[in-house]
């Protein structure tokens, strides 16, 4: 079984997926981290890299082909990525959602771990950046893959983590996954 996670920044995708992979004893892959690493090697923030991607599909296709190959070559892993569900269609597809104001607060509190602009000095600035990123992602995915970003019909299960503690969110995901493995 392959389990793919998608969702808004700050919804808990990476934290939950990483823990789930550890608890299952499976490999863990994070496409957002991979894209941030590629951007950093080029001396860019993720926002700058995404902007380039509006006219250069290679900023997406490199990672997208990688995850598609993973889905063909391996089994029993957990992957996080906005398009993982699409490139690994046989995966168990989980969407984690979060209200925009909570997303911005969570991302703001986690900035030191992310390759973001140094100008993000407030929750309002983070929210504006996240809104720009959402529109950029929406445009790129529609242009390159004819995908509607976060279309709930594309997922097997959806969890809103806005009002959940990290532990509560994880437990709900764990229970759902266990019901599918059994």
Share of the chain above pLDDT 90, in %: 64
Are 137 and 54 in contact by the 8 Å Cβ rule? The answer is no
Pick from 41, 61, 43, 65: nearest CA to 53: 61
More confident residue, 104 or 109: 104
Coil, strand or helix: which one is 182?
Answer: coil
Match 């598609």 to its residue by tokens.
68
Alpha carbon distance 31, 69 (integer Å): 13
Lowest mean pLDDT among 56-70, 111-125, 132-146: 111-125
Are 113 and 37 in contact by the 8 Å Cβ rule? The answer is no
Alpha carbon distance 182, 180 (integer Å): 6
Residue 162 tokens read as 């806005």
Are 67 and 87 in contact by the 8 Å Cβ rule? The answer is yes
How many whole angstroms from its chain centre is CA 21? Answer: 15
Share of the chain above pLDDT 70, in %: 96
Residue 79 tokens read as 């992957």
Name the band, by pLDDT with cuts 50, 70 and 90, for residue 112: low
User: What's this model's pTM, rounded to 2 decimal places?
Assistant: 0.88
Match 């700050």 to its residue by tokens.
10
Secondary structure letter of residue 96 according to DSSP: E
């Amino acid at each position: 079984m392959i389990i793919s996670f998608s969702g808004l920044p700050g919804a808990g995708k990476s934290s939950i997926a990483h823990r789930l992979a550890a608890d299952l004893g499976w490999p863990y892959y994070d496409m957002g981290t991979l894209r941030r690493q590629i951007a950093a090697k080029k001396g860019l923030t993720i926002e700058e890299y995404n902007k380039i991607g509006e006219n250069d599909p290679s900023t997406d296709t490199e990672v997208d082909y990688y995850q598609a190959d993973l889905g063909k070559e391996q089994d029993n892993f957990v992957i996080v990525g906005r398009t993982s569900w699409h490139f690994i269609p046989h995966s168990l597809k989980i969407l984690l959602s979060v209200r925009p104001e909570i997303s911005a607060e969570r991302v703001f509190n986690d900035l030191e771990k992310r390759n973001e602009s140094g100008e993000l000095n407030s929750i309002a600035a983070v929210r504006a950046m996240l809104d720009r990123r959402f529109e950029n992602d929406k445009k790129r995915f529609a242009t390159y893959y004819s995908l509607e970003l976060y279309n709930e019909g594309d997922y097997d299960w959806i969890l809103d983590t806005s009002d959940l503690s990290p532990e509560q969110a994880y437990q709900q995901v764990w229970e759902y996954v266990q019901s599918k493995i059994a």
